[in-house]
Chain A
Amino acid sequence: MNRSVQGAGILFILILAVMCPWFMGKFHIYLLTEIMIYSMLGLSYYLLLGHTGLLSLGHAAYFGIGGYTTALFLHGMPGVPVSLTLLFGAISGLLAGFLIGSMVLRLTKIYFSFATLAFGQMVWAIAWKWRGLTGGDDGLTGWSAREFVFPFLGRFSLTHVTFLYYFVLLITVITIGVCWCFTRTPLGNTLAAVKSNPTRTNFLGININAAKLMLFGFTGLIAGLSGSLFILFKKMVAPNFLDMFMSFDVVVMSVIGGYSSFLGPIVGSFVYVYMVEYISAVTDRWQLIMGVFFMLLVLFYPKGLVGMFKDVLKRRIFLKRKVCS
C-alpha cells in the first residue's frame, strides 16, 4: 500500500466519522463514542505491548486514576470548567505512569506482568476501600447536568450525544496523530530497539530505563485522558473501571485487533464493542464466545484481525503481479 492510498483511506474514514451522526441512530453514535475512547486506551496499551514488548496486566490503573481524578473535580468542585478537569485527569495519569513505571521498569518478562497486575489491584483496592474519597462500591456520580463552555461556540450539555461524539472524535484524532508521531520520534525508535534486543540497545549507550520511564509517563497520560473521557461519557465512576477485568478487556481488545500493529487496538475495540453488543443481545454466554474467539486468535492468528487483513491484501497483490508478468 503506498502513501497516497493510505492518505486517501484515512481521509475517507475521517469524513465518514464526521458524517456518521447524520445517518446513524443515537444508539450507534453512543457505541462509536465508546469505541473511540477504548481505542485511545488501546493505543496507549499498544505503545507498551506492541511497540516496546512489555505485557502489562494493570493498564486499567491509569485509566481509572484519570477517571477518578476528573470525577473528583466534577463531583467536589462545581466551579472548575469541564475541559480543565479533563486536563487534570490526563496529568494524574501521567504522574501515575511515572510513579508505577519507576517501580516496575527494571523488571522483565513475566515479573513485569505480575508486578503491573499487583499495582493495578492495589489501585483498585484503594478506590474500593477509601469510601470517604471515592464513594467505595457506589462510586461517584452527579455531573450529568454539567456543560462544556466554549468561547465562541456556546454551551453544550454532556447529555448531548452528538456533541459528545464530536468532542471525543476530535480528541481521538489528535491522540492517534500524536501516538503515530511518537512512534516515529527518536524515543519511539529507541523503544522499538528495546523490544528487539534490550541488551544490545543498552550496549549502544542508550539508557533503557530512562526511555521506558518516558514511555510509562506517555502511556499513562493517554490512558488517563481516555479514562477522563470515559467517565464523562458514562456519567459515573466506579471501582470496576479500574479492576483487573478492565485491564483484561484492554488485553482482549488489543489481541483481537492484533497487538503488534498500530491499527490493532483501534480495529480491536471496534470489533469488541460491537461483538459484545450483538452477542450479548442473543445469549448470556457472550463472555464464553469472546474467550474462545480470543484463544483461537492467539493459537492460530497471533497477528490479529489487522494482520489477517494485511496478509490477505499482500497475497492478492502478489497474485496480480504474477498474472501481469
Chain B
Amino acid sequence: MESQLSILPVLFLHGLVYGMLIFLVASGLTLVMSMMDILNFAHASIYMIGAFVCYQIIQWTNSFWFALVVAPLVCALLGVLMERGLIRKVHASGHVDELLLTFGLAMVIMEVIKWIYGTNPLPVPVPRQLTRSVQLWSGIQYPSYRLFILLLSLAVLAFLFYILKKTRLGISIRACVQDGEMASALGTNVSVVFVTVMAIGTWLAGIAGVIVAPYLSVYPGMFSDMILDCFAVIAVGGLGSLGGALVASLIVGQVQSFGVIFLPTISIILIYVVMVVVFTLKPSGLFGKKE
C-alpha cells in the first residue's frame, strides 16, 4: 500500500509534464481555430516535423540546444508558408474546403516523413546535462529531463501570456479572436495578425516537438496521438480561450497519466468519454464563448 501511495505524486508529475506538452501544441491550434474558423489538421503535423527536424539536426551537429533553437523556427516558417500558400487560397470557399485541404496536407506530410525516415521509432538521446535523476523528496527520484520539460513549457507559457496580455500585438490578437470583422473595421490588419498567430502557434508546436523527441522518441504515429489529444483539449476547454486550453490540457494530461495505471483496459477510451460528456453537456466547452 505504501508503494501504491508513493507513486501518486510521480503520476501527477507525469500528467503535468504531458499536459504542458499538449498545451504547447493545442494553444496555437485553438487561437488559429477561433480566429479563422479553421480546423487545422496540419498543426499536429508541424509538431511532428519539429520532432523530426530535431532528430536530423542532432544527427548532423550532435547538439540538442542548437536543435531547440532552430527546429521551432523552421516550423514557424513552414506555418507561415502553409497559411500564405495554401489556407489563404481556399478561405473564400468555406470551412469544408479548408478542413479538407489541411487534412490532405497532414496526410501528405505524414507520407513524406514515412518515406524519408521509415515507420520505426527513432531514438533521440537526452542531452548530457539532463541525464541524471533528481531527488525530489525522500525516496522519490524524478528524471531531470522531465523537470526540464516542465520548466521550459512554464517559461513559454509565461511568455505567451505576456504577449497576449501586455503587448499591442496581444491586444490585436484578442480583438480578432473576439470579433474579427469588428477588429478589421477598426483598422486592425487581420490578415497580418493571423499570419503572426500562425507563426507563433507553429513555433510553439515546434518547441513541443523538439522537447518531446528525447522523451517519447520520434515516430510517424506522433501525429495521430497528438491531434486527438489536441481535439480533446479544444473540446473540453472551448474555442478561443487560452486559459481554458491550459486547464483542459492539464485535465487531459492527468487523465492519460492516471488512466494508464489505474484503468489500463479502458484508458484509451477515457479521453473520448471526457470529450463526449463535455460535448453533450456544454457544446461550447468549459470556458468557451457561446456561439
Q: What residues of A have a CB within 8 angstroms of the CB of B266 in the complex?
A: 129
B226 to chain A, nearest CB (A): 13
Contact A122 B269 (CB under 8 A): yes
14 new A-B contacts, CB < 8 A, other than A55-B96, A110-B99, A248-B107, are A103-B276, A107-B279, A110-B37, A111-B283, A115-B276, A118-B279, A129-B265, A287-B107, A291-B108, A295-B105, A298-B97, A298-B101, A299-B89, A299-B90
Report B's interface with A, CB cutoff 8 A: 33, 37-39, 86, 89-90, 93, 95-97, 99-101, 103-105, 107-108, 110-112, 115, 224, 228, 231-232, 234-235, 265-266, 268-269, 272-273, 275-276, 279-280, 283, 291
A-B contact pairs, 17 of them (CB 8 A): A109-B37, A110-B39, A111-B235, A113-B39, A114-B39, A115-B279, A117-B231, A118-B235, A118-B275, A119-B272, A122-B272, A122-B273, A126-B269, A129-B269, A244-B224, A251-B103, A299-B89
CB pair A103 B279 closer than 8 Å: yes
Docked complex: A291-319 residues within 8 A CB-CB of B: 291-292, 294-295, 298-299, 302
- Shortest distance in angstroms between B95's beta carbon and chain A's nearest beta carbon? 6
Pairs A-B, 10 closest by C-beta atoms: A288-B111, A122-B272, A295-B104, A291-B108, A291-B107, A110-B39, A294-B104, A118-B275, A125-B269, A114-B231
Contact flag A302-B93 (CB < 8 Å), given A106-B283, A285-B111 = yes
Given B39, B108, B269, which contacts A295 in the complex, CB threshold below 8 Å?
B108
In the complex, what distance in Å separates the CA atom of A122 from the CA atom of B276?
Answer: 9
Contact among B100, B224, B279 for A298, CB-based, below 8 A: B100
What are the residues of chain A within 8 A of B111 when measuring CB–CB? 285, 287-288, 291
- Docked Cα-Cα span, A288 to B108, in Å, equals 6
Write the nearest CB–CB distance from B262 to chain A, whole angstroms: 15
Query: What CA separation (Å) do A251 and B99 show in the bound complex?
Result: 11
Shortest Cβ gap from A302 to chain B (Å) = 5
> Looking across the interface, which residue of chain A has its beta carbon closest to that of B288?
A111
What are the residues of chain B within 8 A of A287 when measuring CB–CB? Answer: 107, 111
Does chain B have a CB within 8 A of A90? no
Check B268–A129 contact: CB distance below 8 A.
Answer: yes
Q: A168-207, CB under 8 A of B: which get 1 and which 0?
A: 0000000000000000000000000000000000000000
Query: In the docked arrangement, what's the CA distance between A110 and B231, Å?
Result: 11
CB distance from A38 to the nearest CB of B (A): 18
Q: A76-116: which have CB < 8 Å to B?
A: 103-104, 106-111, 113-115
Q: Report Cα–Cα, A207/B66, bound state, in Å.
A: 59
CA distance A295 to B268 in the complex (A): 31
Residues of A within 8 A of B231 (CB): 114, 117-118
B residues within 8 A CB of A244?
Answer: 224
- B234 contacts A114, CB within 8 Å? yes
Q: With a CB–CB cut-off of 8 A, which chain B residues contact A103?
A: 276, 279-280
**Most-contacted residue by chain B among A122, A259, A292 (CB, 10 A):** A122
